[in-house]
Structure 1
Amino acid sequence: MKYDKSDIERRMDGAVESLKGDLSGLRTGRANTALLDPVVAEVYGAMMPLSQIATVSAPEPRMLSVQVWDKSNVSAVEKGISKANLGLNPMTDGQTIRLPMPDLNEERRKELAKLAGEYGEKAKVAIRNVRRDGMEALKEDEKKKEISEDDRKRMEDEVQKATDAHVSEVDTAVEKKVQEILTQ
């Protein structure tokens, strides 16, 4: 395995982006269409994500609206939302399913904040794994006499700086989300 700085950066960026996606799915008091991203419904004999059978929107700050394209799929979508265990109570009106956002109680807020922290920890582990791979590649390159000891040390510093920057970005994203959860 040869050391590739851009690959290391790309993989670390991927871990941060993945974390941001996970965090956007955590519910605060506000309606967020990303909340329904994990929802699947059984239609046409297959499990399909909501985005392929309906339009999800947030017409009000505390309401999600799901416009199902095919009338025959409304009950399947409703079941899918209920099965997703998001704590939402679907109200059907023709081909539209309305999802009012209930207030979060203190206990649920703490659970969500803890979950945000766990997501952050997973992202940090992924970043550290990328760092380990980079360090191993540098040692291998030095052993094969492709780079000097000084080059290895300099590049290890680069890898460490990238790691620190990405871990800091993770911490900032998690802190921001926890504040959002605890205050809204």
Structure 2
Amino acid sequence: MGGFNTSGEELSAMAAMAKKQLMKQNKGDADASFDYSKIMEEFNEDEEVQKEDEYKLNNNLQEKPLDNTTYEEPKILNPYDEEVFPGGPTKSQVDLWKKEWEGYDIYAIELLGKYSFVFRTLGRFEYKQLVSFIDINALQREESICNAAVLWPENYDYNVMSSQKAGIASTLAAVIMEKSGFTEDYVIQEI
């Protein structure tokens, strides 16, 4: 219907006018087999579908899946939820991260008694991508690891890291790597 905004009454009037015009052209002999009501029904059905689609778009509603999977409403955080640590994310937010990053572990850490972070572990493929950049040095690699894995504070990036103490990103990257399986904590046993 491409941008025309007409009501059902206007459309009916237009159809009646077109029918009248056709009858004049055929000298009152409009084709009796031509069913205008059927065309109007189809047109009205199309208009209803368009209105429904516009409603969904304007109200950010998602289509329900066509298969037999269940539809899940977007989760809304509880405004009265308890924070994991003072000034930090809520338990509901952590639960959302656990769901989003299923298969990864989520941790909270405090450095120097004043810098708190929530991070996730890295997967092997993701780690390979982070270390595959040839033109970056070790410090930039640590910053890339932090940028990829830190969930809180939100938007923790290179600009934020540059305004903090020099060792924060390095220490945090080391902890992320350790919790991602890069550790010297193992047992070797002869069998």
Q: Give me the TM-score of the superposition, normalised by structure 1.
A: 0.25
Asked which structure has the greater CA Rg, the reply is: 2
- Relative contact order, higher structure (CA 8 A, sep 6+): 1
Q: Give me the TM-score of the superposition, normalised by structure 2.
A: 0.24
